[in-house]
Structure 1
Amino acid sequence: MRLAVTAMALAAAFLGASAVQAQDPIKIGALYNLTGGLSSLDGPSLNGAKLAAKQINGDGGLMGRPIELIAVDTKTDQQETAKAAQRVLSDGVVAGIGQSDTTFVMAAAPLFQEKGIPFVTSGATHPMLPQWVGNYMFMTPFGDDDQSYAIADYAYDKLGARRVAVWTDNSMDFTKALSKFFVERFEERGGEIVGKDIFMMGDTDFSAQIARLQAIEPKPDAVFISAIPSEAGLTVKQIREQGIDMPIVSGDGFDTELVSTTPGPDLANDVYFSTHTYRADDRPEVGQFIADYKVEYGREPENSFAPLGYDALMLVADAIKRAQSAEPDKIRDALEATRGFKGVTGEISYTRESMVPPKPISVISVQNGKYNVEEIWTP
């Protein structure tokens, strides 16, 4: 009798431990620059990821377990980013998401690779990232080659530009790649690059670059500015204040409210940039996300980086569901096998050898501070 009771007690204890174990959270790291020059991209992106986690947990979690998002502000600083990666890895995360810029992904993702933990960037776009980091690195967005080609084609075909000056933030991998691919495509189309200039992240005075731009004869048809958000708004403001009215073209670093708020609506004109398909998109995934975001945060999504954060976490969740496992190796394998994932920012499939998803790209115009989708470019 005593043996039976003991066995029953042991069984009950085992079942109780199993129930508790089943409820242990699935920890996912979220590394974002919530302060500094990239905060206007990364803040909305983290909000998108938080919304995804809330919805997943509201639907019962994954395999009956809640998601715990461990978010850290990486402060637009590479050393802080590396420290944050080490911190969340020591906390037992099974995957990481985050960062809207290649330089900061490269400060974090290799540490995840070393530990055999998948890392999914929500917004970094350098097409070499999966090759640089390794087979645990995945991209939610398109590559810089695709988005640079999109805006180069638009400048050539729709703006009629044939002579373009190029400004590049020379401190960032993303901005250097963007300019490289823009120049490649624009010259391939028959256009001419008539001047190149550089600046650095954190610069606030662009008078020297503007003077050199004004000195180019004949006058360029447009200026391509490869910048992150903090410099995007400032360059538009200072160029327009000097009476220069030529089109300003760029990539998704310009997908920020700073392009309109920093110069003000009177000066925020004839700006065009390539970015992620989201604005003015009538797909049901987009409408639902906008409605849900507005309920959660009391405002519409600030830019396309909000749905990119949402998509990044949902990609990880989808992989866990298909793998029926929260083991990092199995999550990695399921991520690699992703085909036809219907994200808010477009369908994601890892079909290219480069592991960069081929996604459609929006070209946005800014006139009087208002954003409008001009066309969708398909690779």
Structure 2
Amino acid sequence: MTTPAPSPLPPPHADGSSILIGALAPLTRPGWVEAGRHLLAGLELAVREVNGAGGIDGRPLELLARDTAADPQRAEAAVDELADLGAVALAGEYHSVVARAAAARADARGLPYLCSSAVLDALTERPTERVARICPAQSHSWRVYADFLLGAGHRRIAVAIQPSVYWASGTRILREHLAPRGGTVVELDVGELSPDAVCDHLAHDGATVLLLLTGAPEPAVSVVKAVRGDERLTEVLIGAPAGQPEFAEWTELLGDEGAAVPFLRYLPERLGPLGARVETALREQLGQEPSFVAFEGHDTITVLADVLRSHGTDRKHIADAWTSTDVEGTRGRIRFSRASGVSVHQWAWPPVQVVDRDPADLGRFRILRSG
């Protein structure tokens, strides 16, 4: 297969026309639609703020959003379209497998890509200068989660898992981190086991934790309902490191059964002035509490705007700018480096928390561990 040559950027505009930024997000099923909506809200808010402050040397940013629907091939096609339309950079995406496909295509087309939310360590097959990432690598955040489990006294961990590079990677990270510390991980394939069968395995295995390495809402919601309704499993902790309980749909579908399910989110314990201002604006825009994904979207545009101001709109110059980036984001100072085992320029590291929803108040998050 012939790799497409990098796309030349159309000649610079002298008439104040828009600077195009491509954006990828899962906005329809089977994508995680709530995550996509929050991601797009953060991207759009930051674009409005940049334009309200005069744009980039008088030229407004224009966001060209494309729905990936959690489909890697659809994402590849969107990258090609956006490159041909003259986008100077690509932003966004939530699903790791989709972002990996988008990153490969963007790299081949010479289009700089700042990934907002996909955590898979190997976002590209080989190191590249064109791709950078705002969110933490999976190996970093999931080790924080594993330490939370160990600190709470859990050593026998079961995972309800679906076939996926992302879930398999998470299982490997957990197993490798837990094993030297006396922990074990057993896999329960929810493609073959019904929720009731998962409960039977848990009851006989002795695991004290069940982690949901599955899509949402299904089969995650059905598994939670089955475990919560099984009297044999009242002491089993249900966890969701990928963050399924972050969004309002979780509590709408599960109610009280969705409380006390620890998950990862990427926020500091206390937002600074910039983060607090953005939180207020995002809440107004979304009509609900913004998730960490919305902040990731806002930070993505903040970084790109800073790069465009300092390095211009040439695609190569944008890609060369990652290593010199130093900008205040909603969750801390953003700088990129080459983190061990990570194939792209990485913010090392955004704040990481293990949190859950308070059983006494489902709208309140309890911070269980920070890392």
Match of 1:321 in 2: 309
Offset of 1:127 from its aligned partner?
Answer: 1.6
Deviates more, 1:103-112 or 1:40-49: 103-112
Distance change >3 Å, CA 248–CA 371, structure 1 → 2: farther
Matched, 1:125 2:119: yes
Q: Tell me, yes or no, if structure 1 residue 330 matches structure 2 residue 317.
A: yes
Aligned residue number for residue 41 of structure 1: 35
| Paired AA for residue 155 in structure 2 | R
Q: Which amino acid aligns with 1:26?
A: I
**Structure 1 pair 298–223 and aligned structure 2 pair: CA distance change class (3 A):** closer
Partner AA of 1:344 in structure 2: T
> For residues 33 and 205 of structure 1, what CA distance do their matches in structure 2 show?
27
Contact 2:160 2:187 in 1 (8 A): yes
Gaps of 5+ in 2: 1-10
* Mapped partners of 1:371, 1:161: distance in 2: 25
Letter of the 1:352 counterpart = R
Identity %: 23
Distance 1:118 1:204, change over 3 A: farther
Aligned counterparts of 1:285 and 1:175: Cα–Cα separation in 2: 34
1:28 aligns with: 21
2:8 alignment counterpart: none
Quote the Cα distance in structure 1 between the aligned partners of 2:18 and 2:69.
27
CA contact (8 A) 1:362 1:373 kept: no
**Rounded Cα–Cα distance in structure 1 between residues aligned with 2:76 and 2:348:** 29
Q: Name the CA shift for 1:167/1:253 in 2 (closer, same or farther; >3 Å).
A: same
1:67 alignment counterpart = 61
Query: Is the CA contact 1:226–1:253 (under 8 Å) kept in the aligned structure 2?
Result: no
Equivalence for 1:10:
none
Q: In structure 2, do the counterparts of structure 1 residues 289 and 106 end up closer, same or farther at CA, with 3 Å as the change threshold?
A: same
Alignment correspondent of 2:138? 144
Q: 2: distance between equivalents of 1:209 and 1:43?
A: 32
Aligned counterparts, 1:191-206, within 5 A: 191-193=183-185, 195-199=186-190, 206=195
Q: What's the offset of the Cα at 1:275?
A: 1.8
Query: 2:70 touches 2:95 (CA, 8 Å); kept in 1?
Result: no
Q: Quickly say closer, same or farther: Cα 1:356–1:237, change in 2 above 3 A.
A: farther
1:257 alignment counterpart: 248
What's the counterpart of residue 281 of structure 2?
A: 292
Partner Cα separation in structure 2 for residue 65 and residue 52 of structure 1: 15
Inter-partner Cα distance in structure 1 for 2:283 and 2:91: 23
Measure the CA separation in 1 of the matches of 2:118 and 2:273.
25
C-alpha change, 1:132 and 1:375, in structure 2 (3 Å) is farther
Cα drift, residue 335 of structure 1: 1.9
Q: Which residues of structure 1 form unaligned runs of 5+?
A: 1-17
1:86-118 deviation digits (Å, cap 9, x = unpaired): 221111100001111211012222111112111
Matched, 1:161 2:148: no
Give the C-alpha shift of residue 306 in structure 1: 0.8
Q: What's the offset of the Cα at 1:205? A: 5.2
- RMSD value, Cα: 2.4
CA distance in 1, matches of 2:289, 2:283: 5
Tell me the residue number matched to 1:99: 93
Q: Corresponding residue for 2:7?
A: none
Specify the alignment match of 2:264 in structure 1: 274
Residue by residue over 1:216-241, the C-alpha shift from the partner in whole angstroms, topping out at 9 and shown as x without a partner, is 1xx22211222343344443233213
Change over 3 Å in CA distance of 1:270–1:115 after alignment to 2: same
- Per the normalisation by structure 1, the TM-score is 0.85
User: Equivalents in 1 of 2:74, 2:368: separation in Å?
Assistant: 38
Give the counterpart letter for 2:119 in structure 1: T
CA pair 41-73 structure 1, distance change in 2 beyond 3 A: same
Written as runs of structure 1 = structure 2, the 5 A alignment for 1:176-195 is: 176-193=168-185, 195=186
Tell whether the 8 Å contact from 2:129 to 2:320 is kept in structure 1 after alignment.
no
Once the two structures are superposed, residues 116-155 of structure 1 have per-residue CA deviations (whole angstroms, 9 ceiling, x without a partner) of: 1111111000122155472211111001011111111111
Equivalent residue for 2:332?
Answer: 346
Within 1, Cα distance between the matches of 2:248 and 2:193?
18
How does the TM-score come out when normalised to structure 2?
0.87
C-alpha distance after superposition, 1:220-267 (max 9, x if no partner): 2211222343344443233213343311123233233333222112x1
CA contact (8 A) 1:233 1:260 kept: no
Counterparts of 1:133 and 1:233, CA distance in 2: 37
Cα pair 2:357 2:365 within 8 Å, conserved: yes
Given that residues 229 and 253 in structure 1 are in contact (C-alpha distance below 8 angstroms), is that contact kept between their aligned partners in structure 2?
Answer: no
Rounded to whole Å, the distance in 2 between the matches of 1:77 and 1:365 is 29
CA contact (8 A) 2:133 2:346 kept: yes
**Larger deviation, residues 250-259 vs 65-74:** 250-259
Secondary structure of the residue aligned to 2:132 is strand
Determine the structure 1 residue equivalent to 2:4. none
Contact 2:358 2:366 survives alignment (8 Å): no
Whole-Å separation in 2 of the counterparts to 1:371 and 1:145: 27
> Which residue is equivalent to 1:9?
none
Is the CA contact 1:117–1:136 (under 8 Å) kept in the aligned structure 2? Answer: yes
Q: Measure, in 2, the Cα distance between the counterparts of 1:120 and 1:91.
A: 18
Q: Which amino acid aligns with 1:57?
A: N
| Partner SS, residue 60 of structure 1 | coil
In the alignment, residue 337 of structure 1 is paired with which amino acid?
Answer: S
**For residue 78 of structure 1, what is the aligned residue in structure 2?**
72
Matched AA of 2:132: F
Distance 2:115 2:222 in 1: 27
Task: Report if aligned partners of 1:49, 1:313 keep a CA contact under 8 Å in 2.
Answer: yes
Distance in structure 2 (CA, Å) of the matches to 1:314 and 1:227: 32
Equivalent residues, number? 349
Alpha-carbon distance in 2 for matches of 1:113, 1:52: 25
